[in-house]
């Protein structure tokens, strides 16, 4: 599937985990913003780009984590690509 559609959901009030960024995307195209995140188009487009990466980059979750360990969150190429 190559759709860029995504589903925006909220964490249950008591179950929100700590999130490294302002939101997190999952391979099922679900996006969960951090409870205190300001929802804006740039955030949603960024997370939809992660959904796209899940769909088109083989091994994306492992590669993403490796980039975070190797380069840090800010320099992670998948984060930079999303903001391009
Ligand atoms: Zn991101």
For residue range 6-46, list pLDDT tens digits in order. 888 877 766 666 666 788 888 888 998 888 888 899 999 99
Residue 61: the pLDDT is: 92
Cα-trace Rg, the chain: 12
Is 1 within the bounds of a domain?
Answer: no
For the residues 49-77, what does the mean pLDDT come to?
Answer: 93
Q: How far is the CA of 14 from the centre of ligand 1 (A)?
A: 23
Number of domains in the chain: 1
Q: How far is the CA of 24 from the centre of ligand 1 (A)?
A: 7
Rounded to two decimals, the pTM is 0.78
Is 2 within the bounds of a domain?
Answer: no
Residue 77: the pLDDT is: 94
Q: How far is the CA of 43 from the centre of ligand 1 (A)?
A: 9
Is 32 within the bounds of a domain?
Answer: yes
Please state, in angstroms and rounded to a whole number, the distance separating the CA atoms of residues 6 and 62: 21
Q: How far is the CA of 7 from the centre of ligand 1 (A)?
A: 16
Q: How far is the CA of 62 from the centre of ligand 1 (A)?
A: 14
Is 33 within the bounds of a domain?
Answer: yes
In the numeric block, which tokens belong to residue 78? 């998948």
């Amino acid at each position: 599937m190559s759709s860029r559609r995504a589903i925006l959901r909220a964490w249950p009030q008591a179950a929100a985990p700590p999130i490294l960024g302002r939101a997190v995307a999952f391979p099922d195209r679900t996006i969960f913003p951090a409870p205190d995140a300001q929802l804006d188009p740039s955030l949603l487009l960024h997370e939809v780009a992660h959904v796209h990466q899940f769909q088109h980059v083989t091994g994306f979750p492992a590669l993403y984590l490796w980039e975070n360990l190797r380069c840090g969150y800010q320099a992670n190429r998948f984060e930079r690509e999303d903001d391009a």
